Chain A
Amino acid sequence: MGLEAKLQQDGFITTTIDSIIAWARKSSVWPMPMGISCCAIEMIAAADPKYDLARFGSEVMRFTPRQCDLMIVAGTVTYKMAQVVRRIYDQMPEPKWVIAMGACTSSGGMYRSYSVVQGIDQFLPVDVYTAGCPPRPENLINAVMTIQQKISKTRARDFQDQPFDNTIITNN
């Protein structure tokens, strides 16, 4: 029975605050498209009319980190870029999630070279790794759905104790 039908019947539902917040959060994940290279084109393709990421509530791509809760890192992260990626991640408000899109971000991919970071998990907490070079748009949508599942398991109080993190990156 859908929610609408139940509401028509009884006029109210009982649930927990946790689940209603998790439900709201997961249905409107706003991605921050950290498009760096080739994968970014497939990320745009995921939002285009054919694949239509909007069906999962994630079409609102915001290019400012302050309005986002999901960072899609799409593309090869070099050492020079890593500082930027991290600074942008630090600016996103809590709670936040990260998708490592493509082989490059997950492991360095085909670039075993001096300037490419061999996996962004060296400096970012990654929630979902997406395989492929580039992952097909379906695969990215799958990753967003996985993030949604992950969010639906969270409780509101999981994030309450974390102070607003405004740390500036230190080079070490």
Chain B
Amino acid sequence: MEQRPTVYSDEKLFKKLLEDKNITIEDALENEMVINMGPQHPATHGVLRLVLRLDGETVLSALPELGYLHRGYEKMAEEMSYIEFIPHTDRLDYTGTMCNNVAYVLAVEKLLGIEAPKRAQYIRMMIAELSRLAAHMVAIGTYAMDVGAVTMVMWTFREREKIQDIFDRLAGARFTTSYTRIGGVASDADSVTLKMVRDFLDQFHSALDEMDKLLLSNKIFIDRLEGIGVLSKEDAIALGITGPNLRASGVEYDVRRAKPYLFYNEMDFKIPTYTDGDCLARYWLRGDEVRESVKILYQILDKMPQGEILANEPKHTLAHKAEIYTKMEELIHDFMIINYGINPPVGDVFFSAENPKGELGFYIVSNGSGHPWKMKIRSPSFCNLQAIAQLCKGAMISDVIAIIGSLDPVMGEADK
């Protein structure tokens, strides 16, 4: 039997090639290719998998596949009390953990109809903004690294470490903090912590300028991203995109402004928007948002009120540990809350907060018992990822990496 070249797996094509005498080399290369990207790929930010159909280097179509990190949060939530679920919210968007904590407890508080004291709310606002900085540091750093600027990730992680030191002091953990409580926060922010925040902010400006200098005039970086992955305003809305990606397409929508929670209505800040909707706009937008967050943080530090950090709601809020050990009443309430839960009224609420990645929503259905009957997490990364197929269509294969980086999905949240 004659030796067959193994390149042509397609039997028909092979026959045609053998028989046809006028065939040119172009015909033989007329071929589409399907390649698999991920789930283990450094640029897919975790375990996203994309199946791409290519014609040469052009992407004809892209098919995202999720679920490699599906951990079953919604099912587990149905078996847990409301307080038990707080640590799980850390691991949703694990780049900005505190934001999730805050959003979750606010959702439960909305269901209960209670409100945390003012100081607790300010602390929550402070940690939410700090973790927005931390999350954007990861986003910017890894994004720049994906398109070739490796120095950025070292610089942004250096800044991020300083934020994590603050968390370490505040909550006792660097990263998975579980710091908020229903009706307040776990521990008070003492003056040393507040000083740490201020010191961090004071030096953060120059670090940001340094980062900007590195990329602002970097022709390679700009050329790589400009005009790539353009998402129009209408498409962004139709696809349910939220957060920085939506604002980069020119929609001025920010939950902090549209439906102010905590004390964001007392803060003076701008909502940066761009109209280009391309990868570069999404990059600059995150940079601008970081600066706005710094502005908010200064205001929070200036206005930080004194007072209690836990609401006086013995049936719903865990008391301070010191009181539990010394007072009978508190001990009983603590026992009841831990064993039977906080028993919110029957009903369902939807609460959403502006997270670094977009709008994080919790839809909680309560049947009056200590466990949620149903908890749905509307995760921004999941919704934002829906745009990927459309953005990748017609792009070059190297642009796919830039597009994923610019959408900045976190798979822990997208897969739940």
A and B touch in the complex (CB under 8 A): yes
Known: A41-B94, A110-B87. A134 touches B176 (CB 8 A): yes
Q: Mark A86-117, 1 if CB is under 8 A from B, else 0.
A: 00100000000000000000000011111110
Which segment, of B154-162, B271-279, B373-381, faces chain A?
Answer: B154-162
Q: Is B76 a contact partner of A38 (Cβ separation < 8 A)? A: no
Q: How distant is A57 from chain B, measured CB to nearest CB, in Å?
A: 18
Q: Is B94 a contact partner of A113 (Cβ separation < 8 A)? A: no
B347 close to chain A: CB less than 8 A: no
Which of B47, B67, B71 meets A111, CB within 8 Å?
B71
A69 close to chain B: CB less than 8 A: no
Q: How distant is A56 from chain B, measured CB to nearest CB, in Å?
A: 18
Residue of B nearest to A42 (CB): B175
Q: Mark B400-413, 1 if CB is under 8 A from A, else 0.
A: 00000000000110
Q: Is B161 a contact partner of A110 (Cβ separation < 8 A)? A: no
- A-B pair number, CB within 8 angstroms: 88
CB interface residues, A 35-94, toward B, < 8 Å: 35-38, 40-42, 44-45, 48-50, 63, 75-76, 78, 80-81, 84, 88
Q: How distant is A142 from chain B, measured CB to nearest CB, in Å?
A: 16
Residue of B nearest to A85 (CB): B40
How many chain B residues have a CB neighbour from A under 8 Å? 33
Known: A41-B94, A45-B157, A50-B161. A81 touches B72 (CB 8 A): no
Known: A37-B412, A78-B68. A113 touches B175 (CB 8 A): no
Known: A38-B175, A38-B412. A114 touches B69 (CB 8 A): no
Q: Is A81 a contact partner of B71 (Cβ separation < 8 A)? A: no
Q: Is B76 a contact partner of A80 (Cβ separation < 8 A)? A: no
Judged by DSSP, the binding face of A is loop
A133 close to chain B: CB less than 8 A: yes
Known: A37-B46, A38-B176. A48 touches B154 (CB 8 A): yes
CB interface residues, B 276-302, toward A, < 8 Å: none
Q: Is B70 a contact partner of A40 (Cβ separation < 8 A)? A: no
CB interface residues, A 109-136, toward B, < 8 Å: 110-116, 133-134, 136
Known: A38-B91, A38-B94. A115 touches B40 (CB 8 A): no
Known: A37-B412, A48-B154. A81 touches B47 (CB 8 A): yes
| B residues apposed to A, CB below 8 Å | 39-42, 46-47, 67-72, 75-76, 87-88, 90-91, 94-95, 138, 153-154, 157-158, 160-161, 164, 174-176, 411-412
* 8 further A-B pairs in the complex, CB-CB below 8 A; given A35-B46, A45-B161, A63-B42: A50-B157, A75-B69, A78-B71, A81-B68, A81-B69, A110-B88, A111-B72, A113-B75
Please list 30 pairs of residues, one from A and one from B, whose beta carbons are closer than 8 Å in the complex, sorted by A's number: A34-B40, A36-B46, A36-B47, A36-B69, A37-B47, A37-B69, A37-B411, A37-B412, A44-B153, A44-B157, A45-B160, A45-B164, A48-B161, A49-B154, A49-B158, A50-B157, A63-B42, A75-B69, A78-B69, A78-B71, A80-B67, A80-B70, A110-B87, A111-B71, A111-B72, A112-B76, A113-B71, A114-B72, A116-B71, A136-B174
